[in-house]
Amino acid sequence: MPPILESISKIIICLIFILLTSCAGTKPDSIGQFVDCPDKPNCVSTKSDVTSHKVSPLTYKSSLQEAKNKLIKIVKMLPRSKIIINNESFLHVEFTSQIFRFVDDLEFYFNEPGIIHFRGASRIGHSDMGVNRDRVEEIRLLFKKDF
């Protein structure tokens, strides 16, 4: 291979590597604070007043601990999920996309009896192509099932 093509190939490989490793973004400082969704279509929240971001919370009739254990079991079943924080009233899960390694943060709040509020958002980019909404609806369906 001519030296110029070899150099270009190395540059392209480096750029692809940088692109693939930089898609994760950095963990937001706001994790655990239930902040409003930004003005981008890559976030859903049970506490949003904006229709495009609004989703209904999960509800349960069991004990908080039973509901939380069920939710954790569901989250662990989902591909490329990683529980980052798990304390009495809060659960933070990271989901990583398969190809580009984009990271989405999903926060669950256990502050009201019988209700689990949550917020899911992409760390980078403008649109998530509905991935966060689809994910929380999948979790909702699994949460309603007895397994």
Residue recorded with tokens 């007895």: 146
**CATH code of residue 118:** 3.30.310.80
Residue 141 makes CB contacts below 8 A (sequence gap 6+) with: none
pLDDT under 70: residue ranges of the chain: 1, 3, 5-23, 146-147
What single DSSP character describes residue 88?
Answer: T
39 in a domain, yes or no? yes
Token duo for residue 35: 């902040």
| 133 belongs to a structural domain | yes
Domain assignment present for residue 60? The answer is: yes
What is the model's pTM?
0.83
Q: What is the Cα–Cα distance from 64 to 141, expressed in whole angstroms?
A: 18
How do residues 98-108 score in pLDDT, each as one tens digit?
999 999 999 99
Distance CA 107, CA 147 (A): 23
Q: Model confidence over 3-18: pLDDT tens digits?
A: 676 666 656 654 454 4
**Closest C-alpha among 69, 35, 38, 34 to residue 53:** 38
Number of domains the chain is built from: 1
Coil, helix or strand at residue 109:
strand
- Residue 49 maps to a domain: yes
Domain membership flag for residue 34: yes
Residue span of the structural domain in which 135 resides: 26-144
Q: Is residue 78 part of a domain?
A: yes
